A and B are shown apart, each in its own frame.
Chain A
Amino acid sequence: MIIEHPLLGPRDAAEFTYLGDARLIDRPDWQSENAAQEFFEYGYLRDNPAGWHQELWFHEAGDRSWLVVTRNTLTHEISKVELARDVARSRGRSK
């Protein structure tokens, strides 16, 4: 596969390491009342869609950026690639 890196352009997927669902960005608040349940869900309950999926890929043999790749698991079509850091900020993970 080719991943269109937002900074570096098209790069072979062989340069990347796969992690999984991009929901891993949404780590719960440790001080929340239901922290234990929320962390349990965060850690174990994932969707496994046949179709579009947001995933985390690490450009290990490249610029060491974590990326959020929107990929169709049926066709391998990739519709969007973002820097995970930007996504994390947009999801309110700034301090």
Chain B
Amino acid sequence: MTQKNRIATGGQIDRSRTHSFTFDGVTYRGHPGDTLASALLANGVRLMGRSFKYHRPRGPLTAGSEEPNALVELRDGARQEPNTRATTTELFDGLFAKSQNRLGSLKFDLLSINDRLSNFLTAGFYYKTFMWPAAFWEKLYEPLIRHAAGLGSLSLKDDPDVYDKGFLHCDLLIVGAGPAGLAAALTAGRAGVDVILADEDFRMGGRLNSETFSLGDASGADWANGVVAELESLPNVRLMARTTVIGVFDHGIYGAVERVSDHVHTPDAGKPRQILWRIYTKRTVLAAGATERPIAVENNDRPGIMLASAIRTYANRFSVAADKRVAIFTNNDDGHRTAADLHAKGIKIAAVIDVRPDAPKSTNYEVIEGQVIDTKGRLGLTSIEVKLTSGSTRRLDCGALGMSGGWNPNVHLTCHQRGRPVWNEALAAFVPGDHLPAGMTVAGAASGEMSTAGALRSGAHSAMSALDLKGDIPSFPKAEDAPVNLKPFWYVEGCSRAWLDQQNDVTVKDVKLSHQEGFRSVEHLKRYTTLGMATDQGKTSNMGGLAIMAELAGKTIPEVGTTIFRPPYTPTAIGVFGGRHRGQDFHPKRLTPSHHWAKEQGAVFVEVGNWLRAQWFPRAGETTWRQSVDREVLATRGSVGVCDVTTLGKVDVQGTDAAEFLNKIYCNAFAKLEVGKTRYGLMLREDGIAKDDGTAARLAEDHFVVTTTTANALPVYRHMEFVRQCLFPDMDVQLISTTEAWAQYSVAGPNSRRVLEKIVDQDISNEAFPFMACANITVCGGLRARLFRISFSGELAYEIAVPTAYGDALIRKIMEAGAEYDITPYGTEALGVMRIEKGHAAGNELNGTTTAQNLGMGRMVSKKKDSIGSILSEREGLNRDDDLRQVGIKPVDLKASVPAGSHLMSLTGPVDAAHDQGYVTSACYSPCLGHAIALGFLKNGSERMGERMRLVSPLTKVETEVEIVSPHFIDPEGERLRA
């Protein structure tokens, strides 16, 4: 195929190189510097998609990121991305794209029948049509709508690309690199401050690249090139092309997406596709330019009908003629620029139709006072119908129509912090209001300065005022300084199927209908008609809708007001918000000191928070996890087992008031704990509910090591700092987490002492080191270590700790020392079974609703001292006679299970919430007892030992007769602990 619409010379494309690309199965050629849209137009392809609702044929309306129509599925396979704007997609060799939203071919879309049904598909169609019968909704309506709705299709494969996040800091962020942004950057850059200049385009210069007028002796594009070169040479300026600032957040934080690899076929190995930058800046100059708006004309959505400025951009920047014959419909002087530029390139101007009587005249082409009232051409424009002031109509043949309804400053980012734009009569457009995000100034067309000279001046001034610079602004070459001459004109009277929002297929008729049906607030209009709710967020359509609403309501446009602009400024891939936090890397992993050793043993791991803990250690011949767990439990209780308990939170508490501090955070007393002893501690929340539990070991008069549960390590530390800093600021106590500093192993079972005696250098006999003792010791001939005689399993047990780097060596040493006792490593499952057998409460019992009373530890709450939660724990509602109490539960039929989550009911009587007696919190099979056991809470449970009850779960069809027993299934007297 030839590039039949490519103009012979000029433009900012590299004609020395050619890119080959495919659209809907046909191969075309374009040049570096093209967008997909410009390359397709160069090849004579202007039908690029079908509309959302009516499946009307569509081509590009714009040449930028505001594009509503030319949305394609870019790339194939897993990289296929729907709704990619052809107007911003940088052409690369091998690009593959398909049109979307069609059934059949793009030229013959079967769903275009919707266009014939348009009378039924007006605003509020879904609300009106799919009301009843209700049963139809799920079975019929929803599947039907889901099939037809939505733009583009997903690959349903994992995104193979990676996305980065990054952080940048600067003194001045400049958004937009048109004349205002470049002038601001030059001013600030030369002053030596740190500048970031970001522009969504791949080529900096903004409108300068699209215009023919010069700056001094150079073309606008050449001047921009020169400025960019100077800025590149400044070490304090960071130029970020292909970077869209998508949102303004509090206190000078901006979000920006840099498209690193979207302009290449596939990202280089290890390179991200896009980067989400979080930019911290002191000041910002918003130089985001302006967007031209169309005029609503009957059938104004045919391929070939574009914004006049877009036709100009295609001609000047991309060297592409929209057609051989082009007409312009305008209400302002800027439309005439397009005509003049096209004429200069030899493109025939069918006519310029201007609604104003005082329109500029031309000797080169006809200027008609009048209005375009209709268009023709099934798959693309072939002619327009013009109504003259005399009332007669005239048909003009043309393949392209440029529409110029004036320009809207791109105020979006000024509104992200609740700022509202204000109306400017001269421009007939909203401009930034006074209430800008802190630190932001607005320059150039975004502020309503529409001329090039004005943009340069305001850009430089904005930078100077933002940075508080003194002196003169840099001198700029002489540039175009034309005023804006415009007569507000939004739609042609009498039009009905005149599109406002081309992406969501919202017409003038829909807006009128919405008003008629009472949806008169601008926010209601938006939601009822979906005007401005498509991926382009109404950049080219909202103003038209507002103008019509205003007229219907007899109000002015500023009285009607705008909807709120929210981030992101342009559609943003979800992947870039996830960054690297995907799949395996969703959150960081924490490995225990014995992890590498456990892996060698073939351990199965479980995620506990971020920790990976050994869940059990399967051995050859074991086919179910229960076999491994039962063996580990029996071996530990029978001889000795070892388990990595490093994950328990550890907090070092030091200071002369350390004991007094523990008295505050625990409900039980600590002040009198002897040095060298450990005590169980229960922590309450201030409302009297149990918060966490653990042990505190007193290593010295002024030094404790406190443990927390694995899950609560962080919140408990935060709470302790709160108590220390906010409640008791003058206690002499210092805190630091040491969770990861020590590798800690539990060695449990009747032979645990014999094993440790081979490792520990000191005497650890029952006399020298009794139950609940703790000490700084040494192991293996001198390595510093800590030993605690505490037990979670209910066996004679120790926890031994060494500095983490030695943890791997210590577990191997313990296994070696224990070999003669068949020492057995056990995982979290066996740990859980043993603590249930022993009746120790854990996270399932300290579940955020239970009190010390519930847990059977009511008497622990000391009334002789002040501690967090002690006062409110005395509340009447938490101290009723029939309160829940922790109990043990066993099945009457010993083969039955007692699943956790089931509820306790009387043997007879109804099974419902009103008759609920309690519930099961933890359950397991006890290999020691040979049947299932459970812990749970039962009303007045401690007085109901031996009672038979029903355990039920109607949802999972559980109904089991159980007996209420003591929660201490194993060694209730605690003889083993003290052995």
Contact = CB atoms under 8 A, between A and B. Distances in A.
Direct contact of A and B (CB under 8 A): yes
A85 B251 contact: no
B318 to A, nearest CB: 41
A64 to B, nearest CB: 6
Contacts of A13: 250
Given A17-B718, A19-B722, A66-B725, A40 B872 contact: yes
Contact of B726 (A43, A78, A88, A95): A88
B251 A1 contact: yes
Interface string A82-93: 011111110001
A19 B280 CA distance: 25
Contacts of B250: 1-2, 13, 76
B731 interface: yes
A64 B714 CA distance: 12
A89 B729 contact: yes
B687 A43 contact: yes
B871 A36 contact: yes
Given A30-B871, A39-B872, A66-B721, A25 B726 contact: yes
A37 B687 CA distance: 12
Contacts of B728: 93, 95
Given A30-B870, A30-B871, A35-B871, A25 B727 contact: yes
Given A36-B871, A76-B251, A88 B725 contact: yes
B866 A30 contact: yes
B252 interface: yes
A15 interface: no
Interface in A40-88: 40, 42-43, 56, 58, 60, 64-66, 75-76, 78, 83-88
A54 to B, nearest CB: 12
Nearest to B167: A12
A78 B251 CA distance: 9
Interface in B198-251: 249-251
B252 A2 contact: yes
B730 interface: yes
A43 B868 CA distance: 11
Contacts of A86: 729
A48 B239 CA distance: 44
A93 B251 contact: no
Given A2-B252, A36-B874, A43-B686, A88 B718 contact: no
B875 interface: yes
B871 A84 contact: no
Contacts of B686: 27, 39, 42-43
A27 B727 contact: yes
Contacts of B727: 25, 27, 88, 93
A83 B280 CA distance: 24
A31 to B, nearest CB: 8
A66 to B, nearest CB: 5
Contact-residue bracket for chain A = 35 or more
B36 to A, nearest CB: 37
Contacts of B721: 58, 64, 66
Given A30-B866, A39-B686, A65 B725 contact: yes
Contacts of B252: 2
B731 A95 contact: yes
A60 to B, nearest CB: 7
B729 A93 contact: yes
B216 to A, nearest CB: 42
A66 B729 CA distance: 11
Nearest to A30: B866
A35 to B, nearest CB: 5
Contacts of B872: 36, 39-40, 43
A86 B729 CA distance: 8
A58 B612 CA distance: 28
Contacts of B718: 17, 58, 60
Nearest to A87: B726
B111 interface: no
B866 A24 contact: no
Contacts of B729: 85-86, 88-89, 93-94
Interface in B874-928: 874-875
A36 B253 CA distance: 45
A46 B885 CA distance: 32
Given A30-B871, A35-B871, A40-B872, A94 B722 contact: no
A66 B871 contact: no
Contacts of B866: 30-31
Contact of B730 (A12, A28, A78, A94): A94
B730 A89 contact: yes
Interface string B380-407: 0000000000000000000000000000
Contacts of A83: 725
Given A39-B686, A58-B718, A84 B253 contact: no
Contacts of A17: 718
Contacts of B875: 36, 40
Interface in B692-724: 714, 718, 721-722
B873 to A, nearest CB: 10
A19 B249 CA distance: 22
A39 B726 contact: no
B726 A84 contact: yes
Contacts of A42: 686
A24 B251 contact: no
Contacts of A36: 871-872, 874-875
A84 B721 CA distance: 11
Contacts of A87: 726
Q: Which of B251, B418, B729, B731 has the most CB of A within 10 A?
A: B729
Contacts of A31: 866
Interface in B88-121: none
B568 to A, nearest CB: 19
Nearest to A66: B725
Q: Which of B249, B687, B872 has the most CB of A within 10 A?
A: B872
Nearest to B721: A64
Nearest to B727: A27
Nearest to B685: A43
A67 to B, nearest CB: 9
Nearest to A4: B251
Contacts of B251: 1-2, 76, 78
B172 to A, nearest CB: 16
B582 to A, nearest CB: 19
A50 to B, nearest CB: 14
B944 to A, nearest CB: 30
A86 B726 CA distance: 9
A56 B729 CA distance: 15
Interface of B: 249-253, 280, 418, 686-687, 714, 718, 721-722, 725-731, 866, 870-872, 874-875
Given A35-B871, A66-B722, A88-B727, 6 more contacts: A1-B251, A2-B251, A13-B250, A17-B718, A27-B686, A39-B871
23 contacts: A2-B250, A13-B250, A17-B718, A24-B726, A28-B871, A30-B870, A30-B871, A35-B871, A39-B686, A39-B871, A40-B872, A40-B875, A42-B686, A60-B714, A60-B718, A85-B726, A88-B725, A89-B729, A93-B726, A93-B728, A94-B729, A95-B728, A95-B730
Interface of A: 1-2, 10, 12-13, 17, 19, 24-25, 27-28, 30-31, 35-36, 39-40, 42-43, 56, 58, 60, 64-66, 75-76, 78, 83-89, 93-95
Top-3 shortest CB links A-B? A2-B251, A30-B866, A94-B730
